[in-house]
A and B are shown apart, each in its own frame.
Chain A
Amino acid sequence: MEQTLLDKLEILADSAKYDVSCASSGVNRSNTGALGNATACGICHTWSADGRCVSLLKVLHTNACVYDCAYCVNRITNDVPRASFTSEEVAELTMEFYRRNYIEGLFLSSAVEKNPHYTMEKICRTLFLLRRQYGFAGYIHAKLIPGADPALIRQAGELADRVSVNIELPTVSSLRSLAPQKNPKLLVAPMVQIRNSISGYLEDQRHFRSAPSFAPSGQSTQMIIGATPDTDYQIINTTENLYQKYRLKRVYYSAYVPVNHDARLPALNLSPPMKREHRLYQADWLLRFYRFEAKELLDETHPFFDLEFDPKINWAFHHMDQFPMEINRVDYEELLRIPGIGPTSAQRIVRQRALASISYDTLRKMGVVLKRAKYFITCGGKFYGDIHFHEDNIKDKLRCMENPKPYTQLSLFEGGIGR
């Protein structure tokens, strides 16, 4: 039976849903075409049943893949329904969804159909149609297919706001084992090309204000965690390297959802390592917004994040000599090191400090979350934690806070029944 558009959309949404990114942020643009604009802060349009934000129409061009990557639901050896969109179908869906304010733009990815070059060409053709023929000026995130001609990579960068190459796994050895057809060198090449093009275009824009932009929202990537034995230490080192060397805007992590039976992979009945994913995102935030370095968070002797305490509190426990910090005196960078204080609070503190001194009560009024911070600060020389300042006391307090229920032995028969 012939597939309807709805059938295709459902199949290709199903195939795309393991892609993590949905950000529509990073670029301000008024409507330069017929329909659409972009807002730097990004706009979420809805939230799906798993609580993830939906900002972009996230679909694959096709899920008919010639590769056989062990972790992927779309691998050639899987018996799943296959579908492909035409360029016109993708463009029209995007325009019609956008007109109704369902979405902020398009996130177009694809399985590798025939070969990388053919696939990338198809993606570019669709982007071209959407931008130049339909006049779409909303947000576009396009996936780059490693191994495609550099000219096509360049075209994608000229048409999209953000581009991304999935590095898939945190280490080369994991990639070799699970995705033998993906060449690690080919993964890096488009990332380097995009990085260089972005800086070239930025240079042009310094001289000519009207110079065209190139992937103005930068590039991102994602990797699967928990499918391979890679450590958190390896993962955040890879991440740091991506931010520094390739100037990526974002690195996404996806807790491996077992979709395939394969001896190289965790068993199908395991649930995704959500807590670990959460810890990695916390660490990622510390790298991007808190001026931490990967080597401050973990090392070879402690290669995994503590599941009990978040990475920042953990760092604080290892540097108790720097605490408690005096809110009225320490500089912005030090404020960011205090557990419970983020960039927003730190900025508020700095702004207010310039006009008036800060008491403990003031902090509360400013909206600074004190349940953790109070154990690591003084205000006007006074410590406001309800205990004597000592690592063990603080650990006890925080432990109660994070785990209000005492640990109990899990029964084999409890899983799945609502409590």
Chain B
Amino acid sequence: MIYLYDGSFDGFLCCVYAHYYCGSASAIYAVDGFQQQLGETCAVVERDDEKAKKVYEAMEEKLGDEIVSKAYRCFLAEDLEKDTRILNYLRLCFRYGPQVDGYRTHPWILPIHELDKKVSGQVHRYLGILRFSDIQGVLYAAYTPDYDMTRILMPHFADRFKREQFIIYDRRRQKAGVYARGQWLERDFDVDLLQYRSEKERNLEALWKGYFEHIAIEARKNPKLQAHFVPKRYRSFVTEFQPR
């Protein structure tokens, strides 16, 4: 049986629930973009907050935080089979306990490590190279991540900038994480605020660019190494790589 869901993480968890209580799943896909093949039976699983919560709590209790967040990061990966892969991984973990994660080359575990590496690698990169601008007192960052990761970035910046108000705008998905007064939420958003940077803001950018140029040691110049760490495709939103 192939289970289909609405594309949300809770929806996916309901498919995991269905796998255990309504008959085992041969695969799980998001409804959007799914094309049924001849001879396959599919069922659309309705999202049900109760069931999702049950599965989530079981994961937290039996598998621990590390595996829960790993599963969530894999869920964000752009991979057609990711839902089925996560299900299989969770099945193994529920059956043998979280230490089965160390059986790295198992065909149900290896893909999870690979997906997780991609997503968490980019998350870590954006923790560093995301750039904010002060637009009339609100900190505003725009970026185009490969994965829908704003929800992972928000808690980090919500703590770091707890007395600020800020917006992290995912231009590719036209959504933004918005934070103010201890709370954050995600909403549809499609406004480019960078054009409203003040004179003062541009002066501050110039200070940073001046610093950035002078901190490099001429005798050790190594543009290849620099490009290895900051690939060109990441540079378009990074202040110090914009022309002066």
How close is B228's CB to chain A, nearest CB, in angstroms?
Answer: 7
In the complex with contacts A14-B214, A352-B102, A35-B163 CB distance below 8 A = yes
Scoring B residues 62 to 93 as 1 if CB is less than 8 Å from chain A, else 0, what string do you get?
00000000000000000000000000000000
Find chain A residues with CB under 8 A from B144 CB: none
A99 to chain B, nearest CB (A): 6
Q: Does B38 contact A (CB under 8 A)?
A: no
Tell me what chain B mostly uses at the interface: helix, strand, loop, or mixed.
helix
B214 and A37 contact, CB distance less than 8 A: no
Expressed in whole angstroms, the minimum distance between the Cβ of A46 and any Cβ of chain B is 6
Separation in Å of the B139 CB from the closest CB of chain A?
A: 6
Structural contact, A54 and B131, CB atoms closer than 8 A: no
Closest residue of A by beta carbon distance from B162: A31
Nearest neighbor of A45 in chain B, beta-carbon distance: B128
Q: Does A5 belong to the interface (CB within 8 Å)?
A: yes
B105 partner residues in chain A, CB cutoff 8 A:
352, 362, 365-366
Neighbouring A residues of B124 by C-beta, 8 Å: 41, 43
CB-based contact A48/B132 at 8 Å: no
Interface of A is mostly: loop
Interface residues of A in 35-68 (CB under 8 A from B): 35-37, 39, 41, 43-55, 57-59
Q: Confirm or deny: A96 has a beta carbon within 8 angstroms of a beta carbon on chain B.
A: yes
Interface residues as binary, B154-197 with A (CB distance below 8 Å gives 1, 0 otherwise): 00010111111000000000000000000000000000000000
From known contacts A50-B222, A51-B229, infer whether A31 and B160 are also in contact, taking CB-CB under 8 Å: yes
Interface residue A243 (Cβ < 8 Å from any Cβ of B): no
Which residues of B have CB within 8 Å of A149? Answer: none
Residues 1-42 of A, flagged 1 when their CB comes within 8 A of B and 0 if not, give: 000011001100110111000000000001100111101010
A365 and B110 contacting across the interface, CB-CB below 8 Å: yes
Q: Which residues of B contact A39 (CB under 8 A)?
A: 127
Q: For residue B217, which residue of chain A has the nearest CB?
A: A50
A206: CB under 8 A from chain B?
A: no
Does B204 lie within 8 Å of A10, measured CB to CB? Answer: no
Residues of B close to A37: CB separation below 8 A: 159-160
Answer whether A51 and B103 are a contact pair too, CB < 8 Å, given A14-B214, A43-B128, A46-B129. no
Please state if B220 and A6 are interface contacts (CB–CB under 8 Å). Answer: no
Picked from A14, A41, A55, A97, the residue with its CB within 8 Å of the CB of B208 is: A97
Nearest to B229 among chain A residues (CB) is: A47
Tell me which residues across on chain A come within 8 A of B240, comparing CB atoms.
Answer: 46, 102
Q: Report chain A residues within 8 Å CB of B130.
A: 101
Q: Which of B25-64 contact A (CB under 8 A)?
A: none
Q: Is the CB of A17 within 8 A of B216?
A: yes
Q: Does A330 contact B (CB under 8 A)?
A: no
CA distance A153 to B238 in the complex (A): 37
Quick check: is A348 within 8 A (CB to CB) of the other chain? yes
Q: Is B1 an interface residue (CB 8 A)?
A: no
The residues of A that contact B131 with a CB separation of less than 8 Å are 100-102
- Given contacts A10-B210, A17-B217, A37-B159, whether A99 and B128 have CB atoms under 8 Å apart is no
B220–A274 touching, CB < 8 Å: yes
Quick one: which of B99, B206, B219, B239 contacts A6, CB cutoff 8 A?
A: B206
Contact B104 A34 (CB under 8 A): no
Q: How far is the CB of B182 from chain A (nearest CB, A)?
A: 11
Chain B proximity of A301: nearest CB distance (Å):
33
Inter-chain contact B238/A49, CB cutoff 8 Å: no
B127 lies within 8 A of A43 (CB):
yes
Contact between B102 and A53, CB atoms less than 8 A apart: no
Contact of B215 among A13, A31, A138 (CB under 8 A): A13
CB-defined contacts of B230 to chain A, threshold 8 Å: 46-47
Q: Are A348 and B212 in contact (CB under 8 A)?
A: no
* B220 x A50 contact (CB < 8 A): yes
Shortest Cβ distance from A249 into chain B, in angstroms? 21
The answer to whether B102 touches A49 (Cβ under 8 A) is: no
Contact across chains for B134 and A366 when beta carbons are under 8 A apart: no
In the complex, what residue of chain B is closest to A354 when comparing beta carbons?
A: B102
Find out whether the CB atom of A100 lies under 8 angstroms from the CB atom of B238: no
CB-nearest residue of chain B to A356: B103
Counting CB contacts under 8 A, is A282 at the interface? Answer: no
For A48, give its contact among B127, B159, B215 (CB under 8 Å).
B215
Q: Is A93 an interface residue (CB 8 A)?
A: yes
Is B225 close to A, CB under 8 A? yes
Q: Chain B: which residue is nearest A59 at the CB level? A: B211
Chain B residues within 8 Å of A366, by CB: 104-105
A271 sits at the interface (CB 8 A): yes
Residues on the A chain within 8 Å of B221, using CB: 49-50
Candidate in B128, B162, B207 with the most chain A CB atoms within 10 angstroms: B128
Instruction: Check A257 for interface membership: any CB of B closer than 8 A.
Output: yes
- Nearest A residue to B107 via CB reads A365
How far is A37 from B132 in the complex, measured between Cα atoms in Å?
17
Tell me the complex Cα distance, A352–B204, Å: 51
Q: CB-CB < 8 A to B218: which residues of A?
A: 50
The answer to whether the Cβ of A272 comes within 8 Å of any Cβ in the partner chain is yes
CB distance from A87 to the nearest CB of B (A): 17
Report if B133 contacts A (CB, 8 A): yes
Known: A43-B127, A47-B226, A351-B102. A9 touches B220 (CB 8 A): no
Q: A35-B161, A47-B226, A355-B100 are in contact. Are A100 and B217 (CB under 8 A)?
A: no
Q: Are A52 and B129 in contact (CB under 8 A)?
A: no
Q: Is A100 touching B103 in the complex (CB atoms < 8 A)?
A: no
Give the complex CA separation of A271 and B159 in angstroms. 45
Q: List 21 A-B contacts (CB under 8 A).
A: A6-B207, A10-B210, A10-B211, A16-B215, A17-B214, A17-B216, A17-B217, A35-B160, A37-B159, A45-B129, A46-B129, A48-B215, A58-B215, A99-B139, A100-B132, A101-B141, A272-B219, A348-B104, A352-B104, A355-B100, A356-B103
The list of the 8 closest CB pairs from A to B, nearest first, reads A51-B225, A351-B102, A48-B216, A49-B216, A51-B222, A47-B229, A50-B220, A13-B214
| 14 further interface pairs, Cβ-Cβ under 8 Å (given A50-B217, A51-B220, A101-B128) | A5-B207, A9-B210, A13-B210, A31-B162, A44-B229, A49-B222, A51-B223, A101-B131, A102-B208, A138-B160, A272-B220, A348-B104, A352-B104, A366-B104
